[in-house]
Structures are given as structure tokens and as C-alpha cells.
Amino acid sequence: MKALQIENLTKTYAGGFQALKGVSLSIEPGDFFALLGPNGAGKSTTIGILSSLVRKSSGSVHIFGIDIDVDFSAAKREIGIVPQEFNFSQFEKVEDIVVNQAGYYGIPKNQAKEKAKKYLTKLGLWDKRDQPSRNLSGGMKRRLMIARALVHEPRLLILDEPTAGVDIELRRSMWDFLKEINAAGTTIILTTHYLEEAESLCRNIAIINHGEIIQKTSVKGLLKQL
């Protein structure tokens, strides 16, 4: 069974712009996969469809064998999404943001608190737990989004441009963290427009441009061509 299987995915936005022109991708469990492409290529649209923020026009998506058209809520339990934009309340406390996310998955409160502590600690945010999120720096907010996406311990973690605007030192520590959770078994997919990010982290890459996958390769294979 694939962690993610996308077949012939298309998206035409209202107004007629075709952002995805038949994207197919097949990602194995345990992979660390990059969807690499320039701005406007269709990366966020793809992620948006996986997180139900964007409605696909046609094509199919299976997440660990679950068809999102058949049982989206079951599919959603398998994935954690780290969107590009901060989308939590500025006033809510750091710990509550993570604990409340677990509530969407029906995780009991005491267990939610335990997981929130685990991931906030791993991401270096536990001492900020009582702060409203507006007090966090940009890098901390990004780590908070990762903790929130992991609280229900999904098998697939999807990050949309996770290190855009993050300084080099923090970027390295985020990379280390992602490598660690991938080594522990979580399948990871990230979008990026930095080749360096894809090659330092990922095993497999799909290159997307103008809504089409133009190449699929292993990172080793890609480096040989350069």
C-alpha cells in the first residue's frame, strides 16, 4: 500500500486558470519526498487538495489506501498538514493550540496533553506553553505548526515550504528534527523551491512546473545529472 497515491489530479480555479494539469504521484511508506518547483508551479494547490482547503476538479487521491472521496475524515487522521501560512489564533496559548487540535481527532484530553508536551518539548517550545502565540517569533510559530500537525501522530506529515523565511541556523535544526521523525517511521512530503533543501533531506523528488510533473527521480539520480 502506498502512503500517498495521486492519479491524474487536475484543478481549474474559478476564473478558468488551470493550476494542475493531471498530476500523478506515488509515494511509498517511509519515504522522505520533495515536491520541488518554482513559485506558481502548483505545489500549494496540491497540498490544499490533500488538506481539503482546495476542492479538486478531477482525479483521485488515496492516503494509505483510503480514497479521500469515500472517507475524507478517515484519510485526514493519517495526515498532519503544516500549511505555509500561520493559521492559528494570535491570542490562544501555545499549549492550547496543540491540545485543541488533538480534540479534532477525538483524542481524550489527558492523552492530548501528554502528546502536546512531548512534541512541544521536542520542538523546543515547552517553556513557551503559557504564552499566547502572538508572542512567538516566526521560527517558533513554524515549529508550533509542526507540533500541532504531529499531535495525533499521523503516518504521513506534509509540509508546505516549511523553511521559507527561516534563518539558516533554525533551518538546520528543523531539518534534523524532520530527519529524526522520518527515521522513526513517519512518511514525509514537503514542498520547496530550494534544490538544496530537497537534496539535503529527501530521498525522492518530483519536479513540478506549470501544473505538471516534469520529472520524478531519486535525489542521487538528480545529482548525477547536474
Beta carbon of residue 179, minimum distance to ligand ADP (angstroms, whole number): 20
Beta carbon of residue 223, minimum distance to ligand ADP (angstroms, whole number): 23
Q: Which is nearer to ligand ADP, 152 or 224 (CB)?
A: 152
Q: Which is nearer to ligand ADP, 45 or 187 (CB)?
A: 45
Beta carbon of residue 48, minimum distance to ligand ADP (angstroms, whole number): 7
Footprint of ligand ADP on this chain (CB under 6 A)?
Answer: 13, 15, 17, 19, 37, 39-45, 51-52, 79-81, 83, 87, 104, 148-149
Beta carbon of residue 97, minimum distance to ligand ADP (angstroms, whole number): 10
Q: Are the beta carbons of 147 and 120 closer than 8 angstroms?
A: yes
Beta carbon of residue 26, minimum distance to ligand ADP (angstroms, whole number): 20
Q: Which is nearer to ligand ADP, 182 or 224 (CB)?
A: 182
Residue carrying the nine cell digits 513554524: 142
Q: Where are the beta strands (DSSP E) in the chain?
A: 4-12, 18-27, 32-36, 58-63, 66-67, 79-82, 156-160, 187-192, 204-209, 212-218
Q: Are the beta carbons of 101 and 148 closer than 8 angstroms?
A: yes
Total count of residues recorded for the chain: 226
Beta carbon of residue 49, minimum distance to ligand ADP (angstroms, whole number): 10
The SS3 of residue 42 is: coil
Tell me the one-letter amino acid at 152: H
Q: Which residue, among 37, 101, 197, has the nearest Cα to 46 in the 3D structure?
A: 37
Kind and range of the H or E element at 74? helix 72-77
Q: Which is nearer to ligand ADP, 39 or 110 (CB)?
A: 39
Contacts 24+ apart (CB under 8 A), 38-42: 38/193, 38/209, 39/193, 41/208, 41/209, 41/210, 41/211, 42/11, 42/208, 42/210, 42/211
Beta carbon of residue 124, minimum distance to ligand ADP (angstroms, whole number): 19
Q: Which is nearer to ligand ADP, 15 or 185 (CB)?
A: 15
Q: Which is nearer to ligand ADP, 169 or 196 (CB)?
A: 196
Q: Which is nearer to ligand ADP, 16 or 169 (CB)?
A: 16
